[in-house]
Amino acid sequence: MVSDGSWRFDRMVDVQSDPYLLDHVVEGQPVFPAAYLVGLMTQSAHRVLPRCQVLGVRNVRFVQAARFKDRQALQFSVTAECVEPDRIAVGISSSMDPPRAGFPRIHRTHASGDVRMGERVEQPARFQRLDFSGASDYAELYRLPREIQHGPAFLAGLRYRRPAPDQLLAVVAPPGRSELGWQPDPDAPGWPATLLNAILHVAFSLGVLARERTVLPLELASGELHAIPRGEVQVFARRTAAEEGKQTFHVASWDTQGRPVALFRGFAVQEVP
């Protein structure tokens, strides 16, 4: 529903309507991925300003995970409002039936942030393709931590290197090496969640390796997506801060021709006690 520069989307979500959730399990429960929340933000912003392109996101907060306990359905609500000519404020929440009749529905806020809109400028190639021969299999990182399990819909990482304790290099590809690329529908609005998830997961993996603890997404200071390639993407994650169980990363990625794909600043995760 669109009216007066605002947009609202409501949809029931469960593991039957969105079976990929069964491939993203945290502590035994399917969880809606944080990167997919960012994807929803960009899609809703594009609905408000369909003639513009999504340039970036800012001040993203991951408030509470959307868990599908006992396969119960959640009614997702995404609201987007044009607060400036090139900025859309987005909020994502959900509601679910109460455990017993006569009680009010349970409401939870999952994420909020700003989306920058405008006209994308093509970026020239400025990265070199790295030699990953002899690198380790990324499947090792999918097994860490044990509390989080990934299925085929999220197995994008191929190879990785750890040149320094606070750095991680990786190669990612569309899950299942899909010939359709990261965005099967080229006309789909917003950013492809599969690509965002694959890139941010490299920083997530570094966070786990650095402390050998389970971590959950907390916030994202800013993000830019310059291009959506079809094939492999090289990713570099660097830890910039670590204090009181919180780790912060910068993540850069580029395609096989050295063209920038995405840059994320201030991606913070919180260690689970």
User: Quick check: do 2-118 and 136-271 share a fold?
Assistant: yes
pLDDT band at 4 (very low <50, low <70, confident <90, very high): low
pLDDT band at 69 (very low <50, low <70, confident <90, very high): confident
Domain assignments of the chain as residue spans, ordered by start: 2-118, 136-271
Tell me the residue length of the chain. Answer: 273
Q: In whole angstroms, give the CA distance from residue 37 to residue 257.
A: 29
According to DSSP, the β-strands at 260-271 and 215-225 are: antiparallel
CB neighbourhood size of 103 (10 A): 9
CB neighbourhood size of 71 (10 A): 12
The matching CATH number, chosen from 3.30.70.1450, 3.90.25.10, 3.10.129.120, 2.60.120.10, for 136-271 is 3.10.129.120
pLDDT band at 176 (very low <50, low <70, confident <90, very high): confident
pLDDT at 273 (0 to 100): 74
Q: In whole angstroms, give the CA distance from residue 70 to residue 218.
A: 25
Closest by alpha carbon to 35, among 149, 154, 129?
154
Which is the CATH superfamily of the domain at 2-118? Hotdog Thioesterase (3.10.129.10)
The stretch 19-44 carries a mean pLDDT of 94
pTM above 0.85, yes or no: yes
Give 177's DSSP letter: G
